[in-house]
Chain A
Amino acid sequence: MEEAILGVRDLSKSFGNHEVLRKIDMEVFPKEIICIVGSSGSGKSTLLRCINRLERQTSGQVLFHGQEVRDVQSEINEYRSKVGMVFQSFNLFDHLTVLDNCMLCTRKVLHLAKDEAFGRAIEHLKQVGMAPFIHAKPSQLSGGQKQRVAIARALCMNPEVLLFDEPTSALDPEMVGEVLTVMRQLASTGLTMVVVTHEMAFARDVSTRTIFMDRGFVVEDAPPQELFQHPKSPRTREFLSRYLEG
């Protein structure tokens, strides 16, 4: 079997005495598309944030190609440049144009030459259909457009895996589709993705593996056909029935 890009070992996280993640184990292999679903407050965002070190776990490890990601700032920076993240609230740099948003980190972190950074930015902005907007500021874009730019920005780093934390949850319903379309198309390019989402149809159709989390536990981790059609745990069943019917 191929080597996992990411590994999470026995990872727990508490905020004060509130245990948010409990002994999580998971691996992410190349070209996998993992969707993480679960009710609000189950710890999905916290898990992604622990994976890319925006939160520090209480115990356990995060591995990158089998190596523990240590708490040394330079190693964390290096690691993060290879593990992209797309946020629910976009987090585009408000003072920069779309183009500069996509070039800042390739220039300052990867130290690419200007024309190469520009080339990458245009390539990925085209990919998400946002190239005509290179001169716009984030405040001049709709939510769906912002999220597509945020995805392009993350792609410019050529990440080995891209983490998405509810990329469509902050969007008006009519804009959800355009972002999901981009993500489906990304999935077809073989990009490794970990997607926290409430979009069950996306998880069912696009993921290669779906993880159901509840109260800090990974309750079920299975191919989507299995998880959606024959959920093993009663909790999964209850969650799915709420979503698929309601």
Chain B
Amino acid sequence: MAMAFDFLTITNPQSSLEWMVFLTQKYFSMFVEGTLLTLYISIIGTFLGFALGYVIGVIQDLQVSKVDLLPKRVLVGICKLVASAYVELFRDTPMIVQAMIIYYGIRQVGVDITPVAAGILVTVLNTGAYMAETVRGGIGSIDLGQREGAWAMGMSPLATMLYVVLPQAFRNILPEMANTFLTNLKMTSVLNVIAVQELFMAAKTVGGNYYKYFESYLVIAVIYFVLCFLFNKVFLLVEKWIRGTDDYALAIEYLESE
């Protein structure tokens, strides 16, 4: 595994930099696996969390009026209550505590959940709660006229949400979504408390073997930094691509028809 670094193999490290290289070589596969697991949990967790956030955000935006039937009003009321309780709970407690409670709680009721699955679950729930607020804000930022334009042509409130409001809200909150992903990438480090073998756990183990914690954590700091830096650049490109160009081509085939 350490083959890639053969040309600068260090056997007797002295300085911190040498220790970093040494540890990286010696535990290369551990760092790689930690990185992959960190990416795996943060990518899956973020995307499922986004989906959950959109659903909760839309639920929180539901409106009932006096004309709706009672069962519908009750149902919507319950959904909104559950949604806001969930959002509050997860926004007002630390992720590290949520991880412990969810992992040990689920184990305690007899379900043999793996640390990774619990880690993903915590990430999803946490992301969903923050995302719900972001989505709600995004929906609120869309002018009411956009909806009225669709309603006035007979579009149902749900279809209006899907085809008119959410696509516009999505664009507005895209930077915030990118931010959430980067936060998650870093926040997976707390999952070491439930024994998920992600990057932080790798550094902890490696550092412990030689009592070289400073150097070991520096190694993963570099990895986190590079990952976040690269993803950030990618997101900026995606945003630019989604915004599209400011130009449009006149459809000359219809020009003479004026």
Chain A interface (Cβ < 8 Å from any Cβ of B): 52, 54, 56, 71, 73-74, 77-82, 84-85, 87, 89-95, 97, 104-105, 108-109, 122, 125-126, 129, 131-137, 140, 150, 153-154, 157
Q: How far is the CA of A154 from the CA of B155 in the complex (A)?
A: 13
Q: Any chain A CB within 8 A of the CB of B148?
A: yes
Given A93-B164, A108-B159, A52 and B255 touching (CB < 8 A)? no
Contact A109–B254 (Cβ < 8 Å): no
Contact A104–B163 (Cβ < 8 Å): yes
- Starting from the known contacts A71-B67, A154-B153, 19 additional A-B residue pairs (CB-CB under 8 Å) come to A73-B156, A77-B156, A79-B154, A80-B152, A80-B154, A81-B154, A85-B152, A87-B145, A89-B145, A104-B163, A126-B254, A129-B258, A132-B254, A132-B255, A133-B248, A135-B248, A136-B248, A140-B248, A153-B153
Q: Any chain A CB within 8 A of the CB of B146?
A: yes
| Chain B residues within an 8 Å CB radius of A80 | 151-154
Q: How far is the CA of A235 from the CA of B167 in the complex (A)?
A: 48
Taking the closest CB of chain B, its distance from the CB of A45, in whole angstroms, is 12
Taking the closest CB of chain A, its distance from the CB of B192, in whole angstroms, is 42
Q: How far is the CA of A159 from the CA of B155 in the complex (A)?
A: 14
| Pairs across A and B, CB under 8 Å, 8 listed | A80-B153, A81-B154, A92-B149, A129-B258, A131-B258, A133-B250, A150-B149, A157-B154
| Chain B residues within an 8 Å CB radius of A74 | 156
Contact A77–B155 (Cβ < 8 Å): yes
Taking the closest CB of chain B, its distance from the CB of A103, in whole angstroms, is 11
| Chain A residues within an 8 Å CB radius of B107 | none
Which B residues, 139 to 178, have Cβ-Cβ distances below 8 Å to chain A? 145-146, 148-157, 159, 163-164, 167-168, 171
The number of inter-chain residue pairs (CB within 8 angstroms) is 102
Contact B150–A105 (Cβ < 8 Å): yes
Q: Any chain A CB within 8 A of the CB of B1?
A: no
Taking the closest CB of chain B, its distance from the CB of A85, in whole angstroms, is 4
Q: How far is the CA of A77 from the CA of B152 in the complex (A)?
A: 8
Q: How far is the CA of A136 from the CA of B254 in the complex (A)?
A: 14
Given A93-B150, A95-B171, A109 and B155 touching (CB < 8 A)? yes
Contact B171–A81 (Cβ < 8 Å): no
Q: How far is the CA of A84 from the CA of B150 in the complex (A)?
A: 11
Q: How far is the CA of A134 from the CA of B148 in the complex (A)?
A: 22
In the complex, the chain B residue whose C-beta lies closest to that of A131 is: B254
Which B residues, 52 to 105, have Cβ-Cβ distances below 8 Å to chain A? 65-67
Q: How far is the CA of A71 from the CA of B68 in the complex (A)?
A: 8
Q: Any chain A CB within 8 A of the CB of B257?
A: yes
